C-alpha cells in the first residue's frame, strides 16, 4: 500500500530495532523510550514549521525528511507502520475533513468566533 521508499524505511527501522545502540541510531532512539521518540517528533515538526515560515524550501525538505523518519520510529515503537497510517487515510477518503474531525472529537462544528 505504501510508497516503496516508506516501506523500505519501515523495514530498515524494524530490522534495526534489536541492533546495538552503540552502532545504530534507530536502536539507540528506541532504547530511550516512546516518550523521548515522541519528543523528537515534536522537535522535528517545530523545525519543519520554522523552515516553512521562513520560506526555505531546502531546509523544509530536510526537516520534513527528519520528521518522517522520526515518525516512522515512533510508529515502530507501537508496532505500527506507514501502511496503518495510509489505511486510515484511505478510510477517511471522501469524508469531509470537518465532519471527520467532528466525529472524532464528539463535538459539534462551530463557526469561527463561536
Q: Give residue-wise pLDDT tens across range 77-106.
A: 999 999 999 899 898 888 776 776 777 776
**Structural domain boundaries of the chain?**
4-104
Per-residue pLDDT reduced to its tens digit, 14-72: 999 999 999 999 999 999 999 999 999 999 999 999 999 999 999 999 999 999 999 99
Higher pLDDT among residues 110 and 28, named by residue: 28
Cell numbers standing for residue 52: 516553512
Helix %, strand %, coil % of the chain (to 5): 70, 0, 30
pLDDT over 80 at 13, yes or no: yes
Which pLDDT score is estimated for 106?
63
pLDDT grade, residue 113 (50/70/90)? low
> Who has greater pLDDT, 107 or 14?
14
**What does the pLDDT read at residue 16?**
95
User: What pLDDT score does 110 carry?
Assistant: 53
Residues contacting residue 6 through CB under 8 Å, at least 6 positions apart: 68, 72, 82
User: Which residues are CB-contacts of 94 (< 8 A; sequence separation ≥ 6)?
Assistant: none
Other CB atoms within a 10 A radius of the CB of residue 63 amount to 21
CATH number at 4-104: 1.10.287.1080
pLDDT band at 1 (very low <50, low <70, confident <90, very high): very low
* CA pseudo-torsion sign 98, 104, 110, 112: negative
The answer to whether 36 and 29 are in contact (CB under 8 A) is yes
Amino acid at each position: 500500500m505504501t510508497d516503496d521508499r516508506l516501506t523500505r524505511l519501515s523495514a530498515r527501522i524494524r530490522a534495526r530495532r534489536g541492533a546495538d545502540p552503540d552502532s545504530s541510531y534507530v536502536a539507540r532512539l528506541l532504547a530511550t523510550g516512546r516518550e523521548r521518540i515522541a519528543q523528537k517528533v515534536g522537535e522535528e515538526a517545530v523545525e519543519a514549521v520554522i523552515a516553512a515560515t521562513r520560506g526555505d524550501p531546502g531546509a523544509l525538505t530536510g526537516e520534513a525528511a527528519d520528521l518522517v523518519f522520526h515518525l516512522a520510529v515512533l510508529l515502530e515503537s507501537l508496532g505500527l507502520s506507514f501502511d496503518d497510517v495510509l489505511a486510515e487515510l484511505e478510510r477517511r477518503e471522501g469524508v469531509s475533513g470537518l465532519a471527520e474531525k467532528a466525529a472524532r472529537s464528539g463535538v459539534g462544528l462551530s463557526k469561527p468566533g463561536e
